[in-house]
Amino acid sequence: MTTRLLDGPGRTLECIHPKFMVDLVQGGDALRHTRQGPQQLQFRERLTQEIMTHTRLRPWSMTGMLNENAALRLGLAEKLASMLDPGHLALTRMTEKLQSVRQQASLRTPLSPGLMQQYDDLASHFRQRAVYKEKALTQRGLTVQAGEHSEQIFTRWRAGQYDGWSLAGRCYIALEELRWGAFGDACRLANDDVAAMLMDDLRGMAANYLAQGINAAPSTRHFYHQWLTTPASPALVDHKDMLGWLGDWCQADSHPVSWSVTQNWQTVALGMPRLCSAKRLVDAMVEEIFG
């Protein structure tokens, strides 16, 4: 099977696997919250098949079964997490979701004892891994790792590895990469002063990089479509679909800029400024993504 998504727009993206694992654990809730259309559901199916191919777990990927069978989804999430490092954010989110489902089970249709035990065991496993991960991150130095991660992502941006997306899309991709990795870990686990310093540095660098893409100062305003237009390429649809999946958590009213940047099959959100500078876009996306 060809892996056009992972070898194309996803070839350098490290946030795909952790987000995919979290989606697996969330199951039907992820679909309900994002109100996805047919194209987005088809993309999820394609991505699932490609990840199964890359990890040589094809027997797991029975079409449609992952959405219907909780035990199968959780088993796959556990298997992937043993093969790939989910990262601290993904481990924390998966633990919280499993605990939430376990607590709500008595209020709705009861889970079978076997499935209940699977939730408990997996939540305990992910929680222990998150604790170990946090300890290891702290020992190695949060700010050092955040700086190294930030430099890596901005180097990729500067080298043109995100050029398949719109100008604002490139910025969004960089911010998601940072959120799911060591930079995001530092922002969540460090003290408030360190986190504020990291956020200030991020806003400044991202605004400068975004402005360079349009050959303007970070404070110069442009009509919004100049920021949101995806460059023509043979893989244009794949890039748009990947961006839409990464931003499928956005809501038009709560995250108007991130929604408008990522959900380009929808109309632009009312809260999206029609005239905006790189600085304003970055400030909004950083707040929506990390806030």
Q: What is the pLDDT of residues 130-158, one digit of tens each?
A: 999 999 999 989 999 999 999 999 999 99
- For residues 49-61, give the mean pLDDT: 77
Q: How far is CA 130 from the centre of its chain?
A: 18
Give yes or no for residue 276 having a pLDDT over 90.
yes
Question: Which of 39-48, 117-126, 136-145, 206-215 is least confident?
Answer: 39-48
Q: Are strands 221-223 and 275-277 parallel, antiparallel or unpaired?
A: antiparallel
pLDDT tens for each residue of 228-258: 999 998 889 999 999 999 999 999 999 999 9
Give yes or no for residue 291 having a pLDDT over 80.
yes
Q: For residue 50, what are its two tokens?
A: 């490609």
Instruction: State the Cα–Cα distance between residues 50 and 27, nearest whole angstrom.
Output: 18
pLDDT tens for each residue of 73-107: 888 899 999 999 999 999 999 999 998 887 776 56
> Phi then psi for 221, rounded to 5 degrees?
-90, 145
Least Cα distance to 16 among 114, 72, 69, 85 occurs for 85
Give yes or no for residue 60 having a pLDDT over 70.
no
- For residues 254-281, give the mean pLDDT: 93
Q: Could you tell me the sign of the dihedral formed by the alpha carbons of 243, 245, 249, 254, in that order? A: positive
**What band does 26 get if pLDDT is binned at 50, 70 and 90?**
confident
Least Cα distance to 172 among 94, 255, 82 occurs for 255
What are the start-end ranges of the E strands in the chain? 221-223, 275-277
Q: How many CB atoms lie within 10 A of CB 164?
A: 22
Give yes or no for residue 215 having a pLDDT over 80.
yes
Judged on CB neighbours under 10 Å (0-12, 13-18, 19+), 194 is: middle
Number of H helices, E strands in the chain: 16, 2
User: According to the model, what pLDDT value does residue 59 have?
Assistant: 61
> Phi then psi for 223, rounded to 5 degrees?
-65, 140
